[in-house]
């Protein structure tokens, strides 16, 4: 299994500012992902964080808005840039230790933009 620590757990931010969310795993993992969970909605994959290279973004998400870093196999950050109220959501870090293994999730970051 993998234990994921995600920070901050919640934040209230002013529109136009940026917030960086950190995801720390207690062991090296092959795959790290960032999801968004809007109120009453399913989880939507934002991007796959690739170690040592640019993240792979899903349709509708761009690097300028959601820059992602992954400097090593245990850590990743997601930045929500130039925030607007529509970015209010829960952001979740997820990891998998290998192909066809279960996905582990962090506790999420609840972001409110005012």
Partner 1 sequence: GEDVEQSLFLSVREGDSSVINCTYTDSSSTYLYWYKQEPGAGLQLLTYIFSNMDMKQDQRLTVLLNKKDKHLSLRIADTQTGDSAIYFCAESSGGSYIPTFGRGTSLIVHP
Which residues contact partner 1 by CB under 8 A?
A: 4, 6, 9, 31, 33, 40-43, 45, 48, 92, 94, 96, 99-100, 102-108, 110
Nearer to partner 1, 26 or 102 (CB): 102
Nearer to partner 1, 99 or 114 (CB): 99
Shortest reach from residue 26's CB to partner 1, in Å: 14
E strands in 16-108: 19-25, 31-37, 43-49, 56-57, 68-72, 75-80, 89-96, 103-105
3-state secondary structure of 85: helix
Cα 16 to Cα 13: distance, rounded to the nearest angstrom? 9
Structure tokens at 33: 């992902």
Provide the 10 A C-beta neighbour count for residue 73: 16
Nearer to partner 1, 17 or 56 (CB): 56
Shortest reach from residue 102's CB to partner 1, in Å: 5
Structure tokens at 63: 């690097």
Shortest reach from residue 108's CB to partner 1, in Å: 5
Shortest reach from residue 14's CB to partner 1, in Å: 23
């Amino acid at each position: 299994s993998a234990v994921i620590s995600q920070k901050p757990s919640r934040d209230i931010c002013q529109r136009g500012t940026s917030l960086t969310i950190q995801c720390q795993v207690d062991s090296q993992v092959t795959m790290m992902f960032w999801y968004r969970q809007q109120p009453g909605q399913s989880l939507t994959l934002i991007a796959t964080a690739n170690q040592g290279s640019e993240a792979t973004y899903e349709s509708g998400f761009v690097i300028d808005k959601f820059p992602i870093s992954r400097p090593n196999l245990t850590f990743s950050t997601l930045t929500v840039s130039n925030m607007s109220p529509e970015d209010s959501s829960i952001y979740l870090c997820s990891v998998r230790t290998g192909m066809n293994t279960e996905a582990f999730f962090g506790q999420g970051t609840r972001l409110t933009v005012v």
